[in-house]
Chains A and B, each alone.
Chain A
């Protein structure tokens, strides 16, 4: 069951602080906070710092599931005995937007379907995900990727803003328990609440400028058909290869592993750090051969992976339309524009005339 209407509750906005305080008892509370003009997910001490009217954080909440730099093992250089100090702590990530929830469900598939990673699973089991509705800006295109609304895939609670209250839907038994344990903050839903909730999806849709949204219909095929398109070269001309697009992406997972010996040479630490397909060394093999030697080949690879690779590997698009890669790109390369160029989207008016 995706949606238990009989279990949905209403959280009056004045109770939010109390609810957040209560969540802190369940584990480490993580929520968006403001830093200068931008937002980021951080561990919360003072719940008044939690900022819920944000469009996007610099980095997705992924960093609390798969840290950007992680020690995998320590081993003895002589005996090769491997040990690990890994420990997953209970945590609650509060205030995640729909796109990032979809991003996490993509990571779930990546890490848990084939060759499941026990660490990721342990962290996921100890993590509570609480989502919140949002308002899009010009970089958002979750409407095209089908990730504008949570689809009951992997979260525990989702708060939809319905004016003075949040309409709280329950996505898992874990979420249900949380509400039961803190029922003093919630009230039963009324017909009026339900009515407002039903309207919320069309309200979100109304905030998009549909002319700006990219058409992602048969996008895998488009990318494959346009393999030799000059658009790649044109766009890559501007690409700095800085890797920001992948580092801020909620679905990117590539990492490099390196062994760091201690000064006395007795132990070695195996470290994994997030990397980017936009870096030349990414495809460099011993002997000096670059399998992705040009900027255009690396640039193309990212699109290829997102729109052809993920569908092949996990049967979902690798893009959730969060807009981070476009919003953070120092060269202002826009994914929406690149896709439009690749499609060679002609004037729709004109097409209609041809059809007639």
Chain B
């Protein structure tokens, strides 16, 4: 028997990685039409203390009777005790989740995926680009960086949505704009009413903001998350503006069933989004053409 396999087969039985932990919904907030923020804490008190994650990682949440869904964690690991998820009502499982209320029990396992390379980013500028619901995993990164602000140089946040109504975390994003230690540029697809105008005077595509970022691209790490169609354009624009491919990180979405590299659904070329991602450097697109 070969050593490598002998080792594998002679191991004691490991814990079941697919077994989730019970969690309580502690708070639900309607962010925008069809979008809610859910806060959870584990029934197992110890787990609340020991739980750690990296911004950009995700969990698998069991919606009772409906099934499991992969959802990015949108709270920062620097704020312990509760996990927050931003959920858009889009399919058969999220519809059921959206009907759930504080006090209801769900089950959560994770965290999964690689997360943003927050430690590598230390000592550099950070440019965060969010489109629509893409803000969710980046919110975790934003608060992580702001809580450890001295470790990073300049921080930029670019956020694009359809209109003011669909802006997520409206209050938070408004407060961010007032902070002196972070530069925020917000844009809307179309400005149609007073509310929109009060939010921003910028109208157009998220990509238009990129040239306005006043950072040295070579000293900047970029984190991008948005709808699947946006990546190609954002990627192109970033490269045009001199950001190195190895320093641009995109957070990708795929169908997932297991989160641990066993179900296969999330494969992008030779990589699994769940274990090798969901955060990929733009450099990977060279080998994985179907990525974006």
The short answer to whether A and B are in direct contact, CB under 8 Å, is yes
A contact set with B: CB distance below 8 Å: 2, 72-73, 75, 77-82, 105, 108-119, 121-122, 124-125, 151-154, 171-172, 224, 227-228, 253-259, 261, 265, 268, 270, 272, 275, 277, 282-287, 289, 291-292, 297, 301, 304-305, 308-309, 311-313
Consensus secondary structure, chain B interface: loop
Query: In chain B, what residue has the closest Cβ to A124?
Result: B9
From B228, B264, B270, contact of A255 by CB (8 A)? B264
If A154-B1, A297-B290, A309-B267 touch, whether A253 touches B262 (CB-CB below 8 Å) is yes
6 A-B residue pairs with Cβ-Cβ distance under 8 Å, sorted by A, are A72-B18, A151-B2, A255-B257, A287-B91, A308-B270, A309-B269
In angstroms, Cα B265 to Cα A285, docked, is 10
A117 & B67 in contact (Cβ 8 Å cutoff): no
B270 & A277 in contact (Cβ 8 Å cutoff): no
- For residue A305, which residues in chain B have a CB less than 8 angstroms away from its CB? 264, 267, 270
A285 & B261 in contact (Cβ 8 Å cutoff): no
Residue of A108, A109, A256 contacting most chain B CB atoms (<10 Å): A256
From A75, A112, A284, A313, contact of B270 by CB (8 A)? A313
Query: In chain B, what residue has the closest Cβ to A105?
Result: B5
B228 & A153 in contact (Cβ 8 Å cutoff): no
A259 & B1 in contact (Cβ 8 Å cutoff): no
CB distance from B115 to the nearest CB of A (A): 16
B105 & A121 in contact (Cβ 8 Å cutoff): no
* B87-118 vs A, Cβ < 8 Å mask (1 yes, 0 no): 00011111000000000011100000000000
* B62-82 vs A, Cβ < 8 Å mask (1 yes, 0 no): 101111110000000000000
B270 & A312 in contact (Cβ 8 Å cutoff): yes
A115 & B261 in contact (Cβ 8 Å cutoff): yes
If A153-B2, A257-B263, A283-B265 touch, whether A268 touches B64 (CB-CB below 8 Å) is yes
In angstroms, Cα B271 to Cα A275, docked, is 18
* B19 on the A face (CB < 8 A): yes
Residue of B1, B8, B64, B91 contacting most chain A CB atoms (<10 Å): B1
- For residue B261, which residues in chain A have a CB less than 8 angstroms away from its CB? 114-115, 313
CB distance from A57 to the nearest CB of B (A): 23
* B239-279 vs A, Cβ < 8 Å mask (1 yes, 0 no): 00000000000000111011011111101111110010000
Closest 3 CB pairs of A and B: A286-B91, A254-B264, A115-B260
Query: In chain A, what residue has the closest Cβ to B67?
Result: A259
- For residue B65, which residues in chain A have a CB less than 8 angstroms away from its CB? 77, 259, 261, 265, 268
A284 & B255 in contact (Cβ 8 Å cutoff): yes
In angstroms, Cα B94 to Cα A154, docked, is 43
B11 & A116 in contact (Cβ 8 Å cutoff): yes
Which of chain B's residues 1-52 have a Cβ closer than 8 Å to chain A? 1-2, 5, 8-9, 11, 13-20, 22
Query: In chain A, what residue has the closest Cβ to B69?
Result: A286
- For residue B68, which residues in chain A have a CB less than 8 angstroms away from its CB? 257, 259
B14 & A291 in contact (Cβ 8 Å cutoff): no
B8 & A113 in contact (Cβ 8 Å cutoff): yes
B255 & A282 in contact (Cβ 8 Å cutoff): yes
B contact set with A: CB distance below 8 Å: 1-2, 5, 8-9, 11, 13-20, 22, 62, 64-69, 90-94, 105-107, 228, 253-255, 257-258, 260-265, 267-272, 275, 287, 289-290
CB distance from A67 to the nearest CB of B (A): 15
Known: A80-B106, A108-B5. 17 other contacts (CB 8 A): A80-B22, A108-B9, A109-B8, A116-B8, A121-B11, A124-B9, A152-B2, A153-B2, A254-B264, A256-B257, A258-B67, A259-B66, A285-B255, A286-B90, A289-B228, A301-B267, A308-B270
Residue of A153, A289, A291, A305 contacting most chain B CB atoms (<10 Å): A291
- For residue A171, which residues in chain B have a CB less than 8 angstroms away from its CB? 1
CB distance from B48 to the nearest CB of A (A): 16
- For residue A268, which residues in chain B have a CB less than 8 angstroms away from its CB? 64-65
If A79-B105, A227-B289 touch, whether A285 touches B253 (CB-CB below 8 Å) is yes
B2 & A82 in contact (Cβ 8 Å cutoff): no
- For residue A81, which residues in chain B have a CB less than 8 angstroms away from its CB? 22
- For residue B272, which residues in chain A have a CB less than 8 angstroms away from its CB? 313
If A77-B64, A283-B255 touch, whether A118 touches B14 (CB-CB below 8 Å) is yes
CB distance from B247 to the nearest CB of A (A): 23
Query: In chain B, what residue has the closest Cβ to A104?
Result: B5
In angstroms, Cα B272 to Cα A301, docked, is 13
Query: In chain B, what residue has the closest Cβ to A312?
Result: B270
B67 & A257 in contact (Cβ 8 Å cutoff): yes
B1 & A256 in contact (Cβ 8 Å cutoff): no
A112 & B107 in contact (Cβ 8 Å cutoff): no
